[in-house]
Amino acid sequence: MTKIAIILGSTRPGRNGEAVAKWALDIAKQRGTAEYELLDLLDYELPHLDEPLPAAMGQYAQAHTKRWAEKIAEFDGYVFVTAEYNHAIPGPLKNAIDFLGAEWNNKAAGFVGYGSVGAVRAVEQLRLVLSNLQVAHVTSQVALSLFTDFENMSTFKPAEMHTGYLNTTLDQVEAWSKAMATLRNA
């Protein structure tokens, strides 16, 4: 079965992303069409990039990098749950991506963003970064507003329409993950 990680990209205290990621995971698991797992960057305790060689070489020296690489390599695709800080992705998410190279290649990705304007600028930035890593990103995405999908900008209460957007995103990520497997297996 296709295996997809939902990656929670914020490690900020009091982050809204945890509720968003759990919502996405709950909906994804109900589908029964792929195996989904939540990866919280807090659980991996990655320091600022501390590998002596570029990730493209695949020669990781640090135990935390090897653990992260092993986990990321397990998946056929990813759904990134990202906040938008200063028109960009959270630093810990970019750092986690930068630690690895080939583990990301020829896989698919979708996006669930949250912020004042649905994290659309952060998602666009992620698309650029992931393109360089040969990750095929799908068109559909979920854009959650702090003003309309969170009570007091902190309690997650998504509009019903977002469930449909998420399912469309998951449909695309699952399909592209299966298609990209042919490249990885060639």
User: Between the CA of residue 175 and those of 3, 25, 34, 71, 86, what are the distances in Å?
Assistant: 12, 18, 10, 21, 33
Whole-model pTM: value is: 0.97
pLDDT of residue 186: 84
CB contact at 8 A, 115 and 161: no
User: Between the CA of residue 9 and those of 15, 49, 183, 185, what are the distances in Å?
Assistant: 10, 16, 27, 28
Both tokens assigned to 102: 């080939």
Helix (H, G, I), strand (E, B) or coil at 9: coil
Does residue 164 surpass a pLDDT of 90? Answer: yes
Q: What is the domain-level CATH number for residue 148?
A: 3.40.50.360
Domain count, the chain: 1
Which amino acid is residue 124, in one-letter code? E
> Tens digit of pLDDT for each residue in 133-154?
999 999 999 999 999 999 999 9
Tokens 């997650």 -> residue = 156
Q: Predicted confidence band at 102 (pLDDT cuts at 50, 70, 90)?
A: very high
Which amino acid is residue 177, in one-letter code? S
101: enclosing H helix or E strand: none
Domain range holding 134?
3-184
